[in-house]
A and B are shown apart, each in its own frame.
Chain A
Amino acid sequence: MSAVAQETVSEDEMPAVHFLNHVHTVKSWLLTMDHKRVGILYLLTISFFFLIGGINAGMIRLELMTPGADFMEADTYNTAFTMHGVVMIFFFLIPSIPAVFGNFIMPIMIGAKDVAFPKLNLASWYLFIAAGILGVVVTMMGGVDTGWTFYTPYSSTYSNGNVTIVAMAAFLVGFSSILTGVNFMVTIHKMRAPGMTWFKMPLFVWGMYATSLIMVLGTPVIAITLVLLMLERTLHIGIFDPALGGDPVLFQHLFWFYSHPAVYIMILPGMGVMSEIIACFSRKRIFGYEFIALSSVAIAVLGFFVWGHHLFIAGQAIYAGMVFSFITMMVAAPSAIKVFNWTATMYRGSISFDTPMLYAMAFIGLFSVGGLTGVILAILALDIHMHDTYFVVAHFHYVMVGGALTAFLGAVHFWWPKATGRMYPEGWARLAALLVFIGFNLTFFPQFILGYLGMPRRYHVYPPDFQILNVMSTAGASVLAIALVIPVIYLIWSLKYGKVAGSNPWQAYGLEWQMTSPPPAHNFDETPIITEDAYSYHTMNFKVKGSEDQKTLEEAEVEH
């Protein structure tokens, strides 16, 4: 690789001019064509939505501390879990890693000066904002109570909530992710630097490619489905409601045709982040690179053929159920391959326990639990008992929080120094990571037991037999809430008081670590030429950290 750091700046200093400060006006942010600035805009907005989704989660756990209805009305509770699901899925998890880190770091990783369509990129953020405003308006109007799944005919005929507006918001936010997906696919196909062949790309880029594939192929289906739902609700055209001559299960087929692949939109980017972090903090090339790369694509493709596992007991034919159960087993295999390869990457590595690595190790364990319980739920007979119970709730929170959120936090801690040029306080960060792990498990592990005992999901009141496990869960959620507030404080603090990061604080391999932190506005002065594989840690010279005369030590140079 050719060196791309700005020549005038020593690598341990803040550059005088970078993408954050080369122009200051509000207008320069709101009309930015810079993929890095779009990534920052997304980071700020999804953080806001995470807060809203988190407040709803807190309300749910508070209500469930006791078996009775003592904190809120049934309708309020139903609205709380619906808004929690809608906001967390459509406004946090789906855009989280792709729209923030995909935008911020992916073009740099492949040696591009920007994404293929910078204006489209900005447009996708504005669509997201438009949808978000609808979401906030709906919340103020009293929300919606259908559950994030919008099952008909409840949503189309019976619900008194603002279903049409929420469906419109989800419809709009879907177009935002289609635009991001198209943009990433074209960028990865056409804008890789010379020498950056497909199998030299960092695995995060492979993850982004697989994710984009699903966004582009799957999202139109949910868009059409939501339009049909709105038509039935407003004009009473019979599509899903049997009283109007429709078929309620048709909705479930269409909904899950998108929404199951959407689960992979949420987890594939996290898997990409894992490969970056584990390689960096083990100083090793990823074990079985090709297997991890292609397993992402396998997941994206197979993921389109498993939607029926949400309908095993919803009147679907037994034989259809068997086919969907079988294919679901097939899609579990590539995830298992990834977990084994990450573990093998640590073998004979040089492992340090910086905060991103703590999140990565937590991810391996928590995602394994999420994935394995997914296999359990895919077994036809077991799903009879577990369907729609807290076992399912626990399972997908292990994947979505234990997996996707943990990966997101890992990514934030990994690329924060790159984006801001400052280090956060490592001690506080490690403490928060530990609390996230403890709080998360205390919240969601008891829910597996609750689920097998038979507690159904979306229950506002429940039999007193289930109280002890629910109290444990609520206690865990409190720890988790504290653990998630701590990073907000120290990250904001670090913007002003954090130690200067330098261009490569982790001594990581990759194009983004060869430029200043924060990166220059246009990424590269000259297009880099790639000759080495990704993760060529075996070619690096590592320097000794922590000594006062750091600058006199030899600069880490990447060998050719």
Chain B
Amino acid sequence: MNKGFQLHPDQASTFAPELDLLYFFVVIVCTFFFVLISVLVYAFAVKYRRRSDDERPALIHGNLPMEIAWSVIPLALMMIMFGWGAWLFFKVYQVPDGALEINVVGKQWMWHIQHPTGQREINELHMPIGRPIKLTMASEDVIHDFFIPEFRVKNDVIPGTYTTMTFEATMTGEFYLFCAEFCGTEHSRMTGRIVVLEDSEYEDWLAGGAADETPEEAGLRLFSELNCITCHGEVANARGPSLTGVFGEEVRLAGGDRLTMNEEYIRESVLQPRARIVQGYSAIMPTYQGQITEANLLNIIAYIKSLQGTTQE
């Protein structure tokens, strides 16, 4: 941070040089066309300037081969840009194996960050270098956007759903964190810093930070406090389906549809339990809408994921 006057941001993630390469390619292509047009306009303006007031140029209707050329060539170049950009876009949304999963909750006007080991931070994210990070993001109120320019990544954080983003730092140091979606009065102060540490420093930071209960532990506690356990326990003839070993698996719904048990479905089942019911159970669960925070919802999800025992997606 405070790098002074720059013309181009540092490349601090694995994605940054890949994106910049595409950026430089399109800037060069676009500059070529801009210069071409500008030079032609200037050259024609000078060469064919009016020399006498009664000048009458000859009629030129047009030229079909030229029309085809200046339609097809730019379009072909744009198809290259489209393909390259789509490929890279697709790639950056793939979550690599072994990613460190961190939860982010945005609310007017701060970022709450919770580490899998229980540390909580506000407007700061400490992370290790050289290790993929996956953020699962939720909003308590309006739409926010988590933006780290030097990593070249950003994604909207939308109330009522989860969004994710993945990145891997290649440079230690401090980097800007901005909220990029207008979210009200103090939008421009909903900023913070990303602190990228060497592995050993990161371990020290984890050890030094007052580790709260981990998301899984908090989820376990909430599971009893909110009485989830009453119906979703490991007993025969329970009123709700068992949640052990189901995350990432396919479940069959009343009515015959199937879906994969994921974060979104757990979220929906807590907030709007009667929307989609697992086959064999009746719609008796009350809604927890308004009674649970986004952070606690993420804790419950972390707990249900931990009931797995197997590797997650």
Q: Are A453 and B53 in contact (CB under 8 A)?
A: no
Q: Are A326 and B82 in contact (CB under 8 A)?
A: yes
Question: Could you say which of A111-119, A128-136, A347-355, A520-528 contacts chain B?
Answer: A347-355
With CB as the reference atom, state the residue of chain A lying closest to B272.
Answer: A245
Q: Are A368 and B34 in contact (CB under 8 A)?
A: yes
Q: Are B184 and A154 in contact (CB under 8 A)?
A: yes
Q: Which of A332-349 contact B (CB under 8 A)?
A: 332-333, 336-337, 339-341, 343-344, 346-349
The residues of A that contact B142 with a CB separation of less than 8 Å are 151, 153-154, 157-158
B57 at the interface (CB under 8 A from A): yes
Other-chain contact of A351, B26, B49, B71 (Cβ < 8 Å): B49
B89 at the interface (CB under 8 A from A): yes
The residues of B that contact A538 with a CB separation of less than 8 Å are 56-59
The residues of B that contact A145 with a CB separation of less than 8 Å are 184-185
Q: Are A314 and B26 in contact (CB under 8 A)?
A: no
* A105 nearest CB across to chain B (Å): 24
In whole angstroms, what is the CA distance A452 to B147 when docked? 12
In whole angstroms, what is the CA distance A259 to B127 when docked? 40
Q: Which of B59-106 contact A (CB under 8 A)?
A: 59-63, 66-67, 70-71, 74-75, 78-79, 81-82, 84-90, 92-93
Other-chain contact of B44, A343, A461, A542, A546 (Cβ < 8 Å): A343
In whole angstroms, what is the CA distance A462 to B149 when docked? 14
B129 at the interface (CB under 8 A from A): no
With CB as the reference atom, state the residue of chain A lying closest to B70.
Answer: A340
The residues of B that contact A380 with a CB separation of less than 8 Å are 82, 85-86, 88-89
In whole angstroms, what is the CA distance A153 to B141 when docked? 8
The residues of B that contact A387 with a CB separation of less than 8 Å are 154, 180
With CB as the reference atom, state the residue of chain A lying closest to B178.
Answer: A456
A193 at the interface (CB under 8 A from B): no
* B97 nearest CB across to chain A (Å): 20
Question: Could you say which of A5-13, A170-178, A284-292, A429-437 contacts chain B?
Answer: A284-292
* A53 nearest CB across to chain B (Å): 19
A224 at the interface (CB under 8 A from B): no
Other-chain contact of B181, A151, A326, A468 (Cβ < 8 Å): A151
Other-chain contact of A147, B60, B81, B86, B182 (Cβ < 8 Å): B182
The residues of B that contact A541 with a CB separation of less than 8 Å are 54, 56
A248 at the interface (CB under 8 A from B): yes
Q: Are A459 and B187 in contact (CB under 8 A)?
A: yes
In whole angstroms, what is the CA distance A353 to B88 when docked? 46
B207 at the interface (CB under 8 A from A): no
Q: Which of B32-56 contact A (CB under 8 A)?
A: 33-34, 37-38, 40-41, 44-45, 48-56
Other-chain contact of B37, A74, A332, A364 (Cβ < 8 Å): A364
In whole angstroms, what is the CA distance A244 to B310 when docked? 37
In whole angstroms, what is the CA distance A349 to B59 when docked? 9
* Interface size range of chain B in the complex: 35 or more
In whole angstroms, what is the CA distance A412 to B296 when docked? 61
* A307 nearest CB across to chain B (Å): 16
B205 at the interface (CB under 8 A from A): no
* Interface size range of chain A in the complex: 35 or more
A365 at the interface (CB under 8 A from B): yes
A123 at the interface (CB under 8 A from B): no
A544 at the interface (CB under 8 A from B): yes
Q: Which of A267-300 contact B (CB under 8 A)?
A: 282-285, 287-291
The residues of B that contact A458 with a CB separation of less than 8 Å are 182, 187-188
In whole angstroms, what is the CA distance A350 to B79 when docked? 37
Question: Could you say which of A28-36, A92-100, A369-377, A491-499 contacts chain B?
Answer: A369-377
The residues of B that contact A463 with a CB separation of less than 8 Å are 1-2, 176, 191
Q: Are B44 and A351 in contact (CB under 8 A)?
A: yes
B150 at the interface (CB under 8 A from A): yes
In whole angstroms, what is the CA distance A78 to B108 when docked? 15
* A183 nearest CB across to chain B (Å): 32
B252 at the interface (CB under 8 A from A): no
| Interface of B toward A, CB cutoff 8 Å | 1-9, 19, 22-23, 26-27, 30, 33-34, 37-38, 40-41, 44-45, 48-63, 66-67, 70-71, 74-75, 78-79, 81-82, 84-90, 92-93, 108, 141-143, 145, 147, 149-150, 152-156, 158-161, 163, 176, 178-189, 191, 272, 289-290
| Interface of A toward B, CB cutoff 8 Å | 74-75, 78, 145-147, 151, 153-154, 157-159, 241-243, 245, 247-249, 282-285, 287-291, 312-315, 318, 321-322, 325-326, 329-330, 332-333, 336-337, 339-341, 343-344, 346-353, 361, 364-365, 368-369, 372-373, 375-376, 378-382, 384-385, 387-389, 449, 452-454, 456-465, 468, 537-538, 540-546
- Beyond A336-B74, A381-B19, A544-B52, 7 additional contacts (C-beta under 8 Å) are A288-B66, A348-B57, A364-B37, A373-B30, A381-B87, A384-B155, A454-B176
